[in-house]
Amino acid sequence: MADDRFHVYDTTLRDGAQQEGLNLTVADKLAIARYLDRLGVGFIEGGWPGANPKDTEFFRRARTELDLKHAQLAAFGSTRRPGMKAADDPLVAALRESEAPVVTLVAKSHDRHVELALRTTLEENLEMIRDTVSHLRAEGRRVFLDAEHFFDGYRSNPAYALEVIRTAAEAGADVVALCDTNGGMLPDELADVVHEAVTATGARIGIHCHDDSGCAVANTLAAVKAGATHVQGCANGYGERSGNANIFTVVANLQLKRGYDLVPPESLRELTHIAHAISEITNVTPNSHQPYVGVSAFAHKAGLHASAIKVDPMLYQHIDPALVGNDMRMLVSDMAGRASVELKGRALGYELTREQSTALVERVKELEAQGYTFEAADASFELLLRDTVGELRPRYFTVESWRVIVERRPDGEVVSEATVKLNAKGERIIATGEGNGPVNALDKAVRVALERLYPELAAVELIDYKVRILEGSHGTGAVTRVLITSSDTDGEWSTVGVDENIIEASWQALEQAVTYGLLRAGRTAP
């Protein structure tokens, strides 16, 4: 299990699951727990058993289906209710019955919340903490306490907020996590309060931050600097409202910038993969600009940056992206200089001369002025590069003409029909395809025409289609940019087309997508 001197505590399965639009099944939660354990976190909060059937089921299945190598499961719950004993409270019983080795209790530390939300006295709230912690300790459980609304409570009544910490620690809680529940704290203010809590109580202090002020990660780091030795957060910053502290960013910062030995280096090198895998499970689109693990985290666009990176990549990167399993990417756009395209060309296997890179930069800028974008269409850029260096793109087929008809039938169904006339391998081919839209119909017609000659196309799939109007003032006659993302068994690629006619723009991107797919498959042109 993880080193107990410093805790990395993940609460994705409970607090993160409160994010709007995020709905995890028990199977999802088990899968995420495996990825978090693979990263090497010390504790995984599985949910609130007894409060909802899904979390109760998670702990039941976890006993036989999870083989955790690094982490321990924590069951989350509240202190006993006012006016009864912890041993008699059914929600406390559910925590025991979860068989989780760790129980994390949430308790009120803000005097106004005690009186207005719990509707009890300040002394009874302390007794609820004391009784529940000592009861669970006597039952053999390790107990952590989340001091809810601690920082707001400290502002309101600092003596009482600190007394909550002392009471929990004296009853046997190993850690008291101070919660910035409303997410409104700033790092310097929060650090002062954490330092006071550490020095005034002598208890082991943790930190739990929400991101409503955009400071959750910074607040977490400030708390560690002030003496906290237990950090809580969620995968990819999930959580209600603006989310929680991003546990991936926190771990990377502490390990790579502060020298903490939190997770094995080989696990840290899987950080990007794990972050994206969890995004797939949650069905939440990954944030491309997320620190450390986003696809744009080490992407360079400006020519000035590229010139420096050509000399030394670390001149414009704060870490080696390989440390977290990410890659440096060179983006090609109208902001690019020769260094950008030279580095991008090298990544694609081409060593460009000065003359070639200059010509390519000018061509990119010319096309982007027309509306093309190559930073989002690597495949189109490679085809353009091949033309520029004289290694012409393969011409697997030539287009004689294409036509699309959209028909609304008497039963209300709308069907598109496309006809393409192509020349390939010495044959003139006419093919027709029907689809649920013009682009789908064109895609099917091209496949009908070419798959007999190029069976590799059976593995190529159009997986995303984006349209952007570039000149809004012209209404329906505006210039349109189409981005198509395609895939095969080995990966994905994107192509771009631009025209006043949306179908023509789509055809450009589709034709390039098919050409690049055959190029990836190793096909030589006839």
C-beta separation of 480 from 470 below 8 A: yes
Residue 75 and residue 95 in contact, taking contact as beta carbons nearer than 8 Å: yes
Indicate the residue type of 481. R
Helix (H, G, I), strand (E, B) or coil at 389: coil
Question: How many angstroms separate the Cα of 171 from the Cα of each of 127, 134, 166, 203, 424?
Answer: 10, 5, 8, 11, 80
| Residue carrying the six token digits 């982490």 | 71
Query: What φ, ψ does residue 102 adopt, rounded to 5°?
Result: -125, 135
- For residue 480, what are the CA distances in angstroms to 3, 363, 377? 56, 20, 15
What are the two backbone dihedrals, phi and then psi, of residue 365, each rounded to the nearest 5 degrees?
A: -65, -40
Task: Output the tens digit of pLDDT for each of the chain's 526 residues.
Answer: 456 899 999 999 999 999 998 999 999 999 999 999 999 999 999 999 999 899 999 999 999 999 999 999 999 999 999 989 999 999 999 999 999 999 999 999 999 999 988 899 999 999 999 999 999 999 999 999 999 999 999 999 999 999 999 999 999 999 999 999 999 999 999 999 999 999 999 999 999 999 999 999 999 999 999 999 999 999 999 999 999 999 999 999 999 999 999 999 999 999 998 998 898 888 888 888 999 998 778 776 654 444 554 555 656 678 888 899 887 665 554 444 555 566 667 766 777 777 887 787 778 778 877 888 776 678 888 888 888 776 666 789 999 999 999 999 898 889 999 999 999 999 999 999 999 899 999 999 999 999 999 999 999 988 888 888 776 545 555 788 898 989 888 888 889 999 989 999 999 999 999 999 998 888 877 7
Which residues in 206-241 are b (16+ Cβ under 10 Å) and which e?
A: bbbbbbbbebbbbbbbbbbebbbbbbbbbbbbbbbe
Task: Judge whether 400 and 377 are in contact, CB under 8 Å.
Answer: no
Amino acid at position 453, single letter: L
Length of the chain: 526
Contacts for 155 with CB less than 8 Å, ≥ 6 apart: none
Q: Which DSSP string corresponds to 202-249? A: ---EEEEEB-TTS-HHHHHHHHHHTT--EEEEBGGG--STT-B-BHHH
What's the burial of 123, exposed, middle or buried (CB within 10 Å: 0-12/13-18/19+)? exposed
Residue whose C-alpha is closest to residue 263's, from 62, 46, 43: 43
